[in-house]
């Protein structure tokens, strides 16, 4: 930070990407196409949950002083690996709508800072190419469960072969939410040929078509729409995932402690508390509101990831204090990508990590494990 201020005074600022989330969103808005805006901004219905997701203000950080915070360690253990920070990237589909570099730009930015990335099933670059771009940076593959078992199995096989470290099963999107921004345009992002690269490149998917997707994209997209999701799934079906991968399984989209318990009973290796960025059930509880009860039920049996609404380091700090083990960033990096590809993602992450490091130090913590329930207070408990 000192370096940034010094450079600023000398008018050599390296801050070519807006620092504040609000300014970044505005610049990304201008950089994106109409379709990109409709896809990324906002959420389901009235966007009540999307808006409330961003409100972390009921809980307040209680900073402690004079605790010798010169040396700070931001690393955490997650599913047998050491992550450099308690921070990962959420899966965001169809990033070709945001920038030409798409998921490869995101991967390059994430790899520069060693921030683990979760790749969406709906990525516009193949999972193999993204894995290569990430190199040694930890990587997770988000699994949308095709109703076609052979394709579902093929995705799990490919993710394991391509070197992903975990499978993230998204359970909150068996059907798409009521997203008015998209509906108004009659626009379905996944109809972009590029938006379904993982499917179009999948040997099993291809074998089910008469002509390759490149020759007849319309028929291929039709087939994709037929096999994309499966709303008949129940907790018992998770066995299929365990039967078809040796990788740890994260269940993303849990908002109720009873579902956290069911997830653990059905073999979850980690629980993801998330509202899908307010894109699924308008009017639902927010991820932050759900977190304390889920954390109480899980009680350290498995790690908890948290996303939905994180915009600044204090949001992440509060989620860690209330039981999350790692926090995922979504729209902030999407906007970074839209503004300047890999450089935008890198800058957003660099700033977020720097802000987190400062917040942690100023709150009196030398490492992430020190951040706990007594690091925050609820507004009803203020002294
Ligand atoms: C998403 N999200 C998502 N989740 C998932 O499991 N698979 C996916 O393909 C996508 N795609 C996607 C696209 C876009 C444009 C957005 C904004 C979100 C949900 C995502 O992983 C995460 O839960 C939210 O982004 C968190 O909300 P915020 O913090 O971004 O507002």
Q: Quote the CA–CA distance of 70 and 291 in Å, as a whole number.
A: 31
Q: Which atom belonging to ligand 1 lies closest to the Cα atom of 90?
A: 21
Q: Which two tokens stand for residue 127?
A: 């999972």
Mutational test site, ligand 1, from 92, 168, 280, 316, max ligand atoms within 8 Å of CB: 92
CA proximity to 116, closest of 338, 303, 293: 303
Tell the residue nearest (CA) to atom 13 of ligand 1: 92
Q: Where are the beta strands (DSSP E) in 202-303?
A: 249-254, 270-273
Q: Quote the CA–CA distance of 336 and 15 in Å, as a whole number.
A: 12
| Burial degree of 100 (CB within 10 A; 0-12, 13-18, 19+) | exposed
163-191: pLDDT as tens digits: 999 999 999 999 999 999 999 988 777 77
Give the contacts of 123 (CB within 8 A, at least 6 positions apart).
93, 94, 95, 102, 103, 130, 197, 198
Range of the domain at 219: 2-381
- The interface predicted TM-score (ipTM) is 0.99
Identify the CATH number of the domain in which residue 133 sits.
3.20.20.70
Our answer on whether the CB atom of 137 is closer than 6 Å to any ligand 1 atom is no
Is pLDDT of 244 > 80? yes
CB-based contact 277:307 (threshold 8 Å): yes
Is pLDDT of 54 > 70? yes
Distance 362 CA to ligand 1 centre (A): 30
Is pLDDT of 273 > 70? yes
Q: Quote the CA–CA distance of 91 and 308 in Å, as a whole number.
A: 12
**How much is the mean pLDDT over the chain?**
95
Question: Once rounded to an integer, what is the mean pLDDT over residues 84-94?
Answer: 97
339-360: pLDDT as tens digits: 999 999 999 999 999 999 999 9
For residues 107, 108, 114, 116, the Cα torsion angle rounded to the nearest 10 degrees is: 0
Supply the pLDDT for residue 223.
94
CB-based contact 362:56 (threshold 8 Å): no
Domains: count for the chain: 1
30-45: pLDDT as tens digits: 999 999 999 999 999 9
CA proximity to 333, closest of 127, 170, 101, 167: 101
Distance 275 CA to ligand 1 centre (A): 9
Distance 318 CA to ligand 1 centre (A): 20
pLDDT category at 304 given cuts 50, 70, 90 is very high
Maximum distance among all Cα pairs of the chain, rounded to whole angstroms? 70
Q: Which atom belonging to ligand 1 lies closest to the Cα atom of 120?
A: 9
- Residues with a catalytic annotation lie at 276
């Amino acid at each position: 930070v000192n370096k940034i201020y010094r450079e600023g005074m000398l008018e050599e600022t390296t801050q070519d990407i807006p620092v504040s989330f609000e300014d970044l969103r505005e610049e990304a808005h201008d950089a994106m196409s109409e379709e990109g805006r409709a896809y990324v901004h906002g959420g389901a219905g009235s966007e009540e949950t999307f808006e409330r997701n961003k409100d972390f203000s009921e809980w307040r950080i209680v900073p402690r002083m004079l605790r010798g915070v010169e040396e700070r360690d931001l690393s955490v253990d997650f599913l047998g690996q050491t992550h450099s920070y308690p921070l990962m990237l959420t899966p965001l589909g169809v990033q070709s709508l945001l920038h030409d570099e798409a998921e490869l730009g995101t991967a390059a930015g994430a790899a520069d800072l060693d921030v683990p990335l979760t790749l969406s099933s709906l990525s516009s670059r193949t999972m193999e190419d993204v894995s290569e771009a990430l190199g040694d940076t930890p990587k997770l593959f988000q699994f949308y469960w095709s109703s076609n078992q052979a394709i579902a199995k093929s995705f799990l096989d490919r993710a394991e072969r391509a070197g992903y470290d975990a499978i993230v099963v998204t359970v909150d999107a068996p059907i798409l939410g009521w997203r008015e921004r998209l509906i108004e345009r009659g626009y379905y992002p996944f109809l972009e040929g590029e938006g379904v690269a993982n499917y179009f490149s999948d040997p099993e998917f291809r074998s089910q078509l008469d002509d390759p997707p490149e020759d007849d994209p319309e028929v291929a997209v039709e087939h994709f729409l037929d096999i994309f999701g499966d709303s008949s799934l129940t907790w018992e079906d998770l066995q299929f995932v365990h039967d078809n991968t040796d990788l740890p399984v994260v269940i993303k989209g849990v908002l109720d402690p009873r579902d956290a318990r069911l997830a653990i009973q059905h073999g979850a290796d980690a629980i993801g508390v998330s509202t899908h960025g307010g894109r699924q059930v308008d009017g639902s509880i927010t991820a932050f509101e759900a977190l304390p009860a889920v954390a109480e039920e899980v009680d350290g049996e498995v790690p908890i990831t948290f996303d939905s609404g994180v915009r600044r380091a204090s949001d992440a700090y509060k989620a860690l204090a209330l039981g999350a083990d790692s926090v995922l960033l979504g729209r902030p990096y999407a906007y970074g990508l839209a503004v300047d590809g890999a450089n935008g993602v890198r800058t957003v992450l660099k700033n977020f990590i720097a802000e987190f490091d400062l917040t942690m130090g100023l709150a009196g913590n030398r490492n992430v494990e020190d951040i706990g329930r007594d690091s925050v207070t609820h507004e009803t408990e203020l002294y």
